[in-house]
């Protein structure tokens, strides 16, 4: 993660930032506790769902069971996320093995996802380094100068029904099946190996419970999990007041505290999402395991920023473009009201 300024000098870090290093040490005990209270129940619920489908029990019960299964799968993905940063287990090999296994379960090639996600940590909130591991965000000037066809594509991409519906399923179900541009051999191999194992699981299902029951069980779980997962990633960097800067002005501390959100969720949802709502803290210290984030937050008043809530986070859906002149997010409607000029009168987004 680049923390030096444009002159190549590393600025001094405040004492509270240095003090956060004490929470970075991974520990097998809380890690295995989390696996026990998440993965084992997940496998149990999935087994029950397969039972309801194969025994001809009402599919409404199967769909009802998909809700706790979705929550447990999302929490499991957070363990993959920690493994990506080398922070779930103390052992790099154990993190890689866990990441690969969870990657198969979530249709996510761990090696490639780790590569792109670490790139995201080095480029988030940087207007000159967008494009990898991000929600696509255009500036007003870029949008205005784009051909009409590109504007239409961007409108479709940013529409909630696409980005959180079809788009999220396409990302995990289709796009993750292929290497992305710039990926090197280890990352490409992780994609093909993950695909092979997924195909083997589908084939094994075809020979046992059947392909149809497999997708009747996993289909709704994957769809809901992917939709909510993309939503979580969206609100982490798309909100009013978010910090964006050009390369020469980009500041690591500001980017972490103002370019990533604190999404304060009800306790049960915070458990399901593995404390990832403390995303600003995660960007400050990405090697803090999810099981220590709350402790680090509570002990560090400097990171107690204004949070997003479930209610206020819904307003982010209206924010589509970044006004670089005014350093604020705006919506398509606001741009239209200003006559397409990024210096027009401010309206409600």
Q: Is the pLDDT of residue 7 over 90?
A: no
Question: What is the per-residue pLDDT across 79-108, written as a single tens digit (0 to 9) for each?
Answer: 999 999 999 999 999 999 999 999 999 999
Q: Which residues pair with 328 in a beta bridge?
A: 323
Evaluate whether residue 300 is within a structural domain. yes
Question: What is the per-residue pLDDT across 163-180, written as a single tens digit (0 to 9) for each?
Answer: 999 999 999 999 999 999
- Listed in sequence order, the DSSP H helices in 208-243 are 211-237
Q: What's the total number of domains in the chain?
A: 1
Instruction: Please count the other Cβ atoms lying within 10 Å of the Cβ belonging to residue 172.
Output: 19
Question: What is the per-residue pLDDT across 47-71, written as a single tens digit (0 to 9) for each?
Answer: 999 999 999 999 999 999 999 999 9
**Of all residues in the chain, what percent carry a pLDDT higher than 70?**
94
Evaluate whether residue 10 is within a structural domain. no
Evaluate whether residue 19 is within a structural domain. no
pLDDT of residue 132: 81
**DSSP assignment of 11-47:** PPPPHHHHHGGGG----HHHHHHHHHHHHHHHHHHHH
Q: What is the DSSP letter of 89?
A: S
As a whole number of angstroms, the distance between CA 105 and CA 61 comes to 22
CA angle 229, 231, 236 (to 5 degrees): 100
Q: Is the pLDDT of residue 339 over 70?
A: no
Query: pTM above 0.85?
Result: yes
Evaluate whether residue 343 is within a structural domain. no
Give me the domain span that covers residue 311: 26-337
Evaluate whether residue 274 is within a structural domain. yes
Evaluate whether residue 12 is within a structural domain. no
Secondary structure class of 29 (helix, strand, coil): helix
Helix, strand and coil in the chain, % to nearest 5: 65, 5, 30
Q: Which residues have a Cβ under 8 Å from the Cβ of 257 and sit 6 or more positions away? A: 243, 280, 284, 303, 305
As a whole number of angstroms, the distance between CA 304 and CA 306 comes to 7
pLDDT of residue 149: 97
Evaluate whether residue 134 is within a structural domain. yes
pLDDT of residue 348: 34
Evaluate whether residue 2 is within a structural domain. no
What sign for the dihedral angle of Cα 279, 282, 283, 286?
negative
Mean pLDDT in residue range 270-282: 98
């Amino acid at each position: 993660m680049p923390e030096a300024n444009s002159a190549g000098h590393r600025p001094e870090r405040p004492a509270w930032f240095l003090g956060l290093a004490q929470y970075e040490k991974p520990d097998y005990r809380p890690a295995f506790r989390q696996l026990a209270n998440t993965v084992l129940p997940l496998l149990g619920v999935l087994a029950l769902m397969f039972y309801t489908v194969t025994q001809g029990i009402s599919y409404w019960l199967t769909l009802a069971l998909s809700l706790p299964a979705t929550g447990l799968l999302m929490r499991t993905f957070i363990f993959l996320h920690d493994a990506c940063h080398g922070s779930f287990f103390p052992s790099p090999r154990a993190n890689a093995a866990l990441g690969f296994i969870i990657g198969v379960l979530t249709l996510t090639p761990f090696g490639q996802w780790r590569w792109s996600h670490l790139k995201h940590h080095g480029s988030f909130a940087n207007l000159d380094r967008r494009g990898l591991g991000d929600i696509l965000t255009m500036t007003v000037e870029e949008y205005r100068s784009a051909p009409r066809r590109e504007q239409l594509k961007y409108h479709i991409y940013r529409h909630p029904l696409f980005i959180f519906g079809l788009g999220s399923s396409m990302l995990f179900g289709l796009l993750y099946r292929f290497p992305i541009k710039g990926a090197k051999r280890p990352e490409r191999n992780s994609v093909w190996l993950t695909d092979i194992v997924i195909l083997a699981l589908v084939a094994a299902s075809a020979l046992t419970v059947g392909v149809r029951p497999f997708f009747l069980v996993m289909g709704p779980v994957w769809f809901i999990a992917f939709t909510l997962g993309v939503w979580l990633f969206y609100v982490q960097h798309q909100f009013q007041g978010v910090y964006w800067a050009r390369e020469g002005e980009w500041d690591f501390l500001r980017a972490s505290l103002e370019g990533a959100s604190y999404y304060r969720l009800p306790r049960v949802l915070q458990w399901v999402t593995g404390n990832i709502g403390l995303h600003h803290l995660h960007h400050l210290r990405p090697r803090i395991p999810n099981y220590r984030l709350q402790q680090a937050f509570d002990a560090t008043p400097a990171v107690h920023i204004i949070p997003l809530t479930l209610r206020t986070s819904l307003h982010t859906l209206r924010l589509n473009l970044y006004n670089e002149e005014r350093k604020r997010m705006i919506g398509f409607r606001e741009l239209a009201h200003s006559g397409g000029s990024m210096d027009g009168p401010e309206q409600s987004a």
